[in-house]
Structure 1
């Protein structure tokens, strides 16, 4: 019996990640699959990396924020837009404490792969098989969009990126799943967004296929995460604290981010970092 905890989109939230791991272990998980976006915008870096290494996931997928970490630490992010400065400054923060060799390991993670469990072919990806960003697979899109995940004879596809837990079918009834987000669950409805517990998917496989499937919501102490962010002197601290309170993110609010860039001289920091 294989019991797999499938998780993604930790986004630097150490407290949520620890709670998710504890819940998975308590529920008998004996294998872990990670579908991308480990760090940023939260304060967790070295501790989250340590926890990931302890889990020893069987499969690791590279998300779009993992790419932002890689390119930002290397000084390769264009700074022409306020949100690009945001990504670059956060990556600079990550680079200060990311353990040696971690960046190189992240760069080797694929953005998609096919695996086999019993007689099932399963496609794992962060988003599309050939693109780990964009909104093509937003949960309310038409079924034809999700057929893009079911390539190469897959019976089942599991993707991440949209921060919504999901069970749906492609146009020919093959299954598409999403584990949701550990650190940043999203929902456009205020009552549903109020549930900000850490999310992941617990899948049990036996010799007939999927024996059990559970979408887990795990409580964690957001006040503790808030204290970690303050102690770390996290860039864009106001935005992260607001996110912990409301569940909303402000990544593409160019006007708001521009004001913070000007207030804290983040663009100048990034330019100096690139020069150095």
Structure 2
């Protein structure tokens, strides 16, 4: 028995990065795909990314925190209390306006945690914690005790935990030496150490499992044209388009930059646009 699995997450609407990752995975002869959450936003592509996901036919999908934001925002359920809430809401409105039929409802049905046996190994898979897909408790520099929580699931014991969310590829161990893996981010890799932050390629993970166990762990960094991704944004009606294009240059996210988001929100009346959308949707 031998199975090659492409594990990927945090596409965040970046079509060019996902296309590059998908092409590479085909060249690497993977047998199946596991998607670990955060498919859309803040990038401009919705339907093309959804179509690639359908083509991949992932055997594992879990729901990320941005997937939840897509669902809540698309259903008109976001509040306007903070600049970042307006940002999420207006982007989710954009997703809803470009989504294929049934997409939002399908995303809402994705589970938070999946246990998957492959050969002799049992994998526990979640976007962050098995019961919480947000927060910084599993940031790579946290203590091992935090990562032990990934193994706290009912049923057969997990041998290897896989999570995403923090946009860092990672291999480390819990307190009892069970393995923890993170594939990194396809669309938005992060690192506070600048020489590492310069690597803005599409990050994902290939696992090869055989009858003995984990035969290969390959962290893949695949180059793509960020200028091409900016051109896709230019041809779209994406809210915060200039901010997304800036992110393509700097590799930094501006999700919680209240001052900058307030400037955009005020300039383009994004809060009022979303309120009108939600009112029309909910009567």
Which category of TM-score, normalised to the shorter sequence, fits these structures?
A: over 0.9
Match of 2:233 in 1: 229
TM-score by length of 2: 0.97
Q: Distance in 2 between matches of 1:266 and 1:170?
A: 44
> How much does 1:94 deviate?
0.6
Q: Distance in 2 between matches of 1:34 and 1:244?
A: 23
Match of 2:174 in 1: 170
Q: What do residues 150-200 of structure 1 show as CA deviations (whole Å, max 9, x unaligned)?
A: 124111100000000000000010000000000000000111111100000
Q: CA RMSD in A?
A: 0.6
Match of 2:18 in 1: 17
Match of 2:202 in 1: 198
Match of 1:61 in 2: 62
Q: Distance in 1 between matches of 2:3 and 2:138?
A: 28
Match of 1:186 in 2: 190
Match of 2:218 in 1: 214
Q: Distance in 2 between matches of 1:271 and 1:105?
A: 24
Asked if 1:262 is matched to 2:238, the reply is no
SS at match of 2:239: coil
SS at match of 1:202: strand
Q: Distance in 2 between matches of 1:124 and 1:189?
A: 27
> How much does 1:255 deviate?
1.2
TM-score by length of 1: 0.99
Match of 2:163 in 1: 159
Q: Distance in 2 between matches of 1:2 and 1:235?
A: 41
Q: Distance in 2 between matches of 1:44 and 1:205?
A: 33
Match of 1:28 in 2: 29
Match of 1:128 in 2: 129
> How much does 1:96 deviate?
1.0
Q: Identify unmatched segments of 5+ residues in structure 1.
A: none
Q: Identify unmatched segments of 5+ residues in structure 2.
A: none
Q: Distance in 2 between matches of 1:2 and 1:121?
A: 14
> How much does 1:119 deviate?
2.0
Instruction: Give the length in aligned residue pairs.
Output: 276
SS at match of 1:37: coil
Match of 2:78 in 1: 77
SS at match of 2:170: strand
Q: Distance in 2 between matches of 1:183 and 1:240?
A: 11
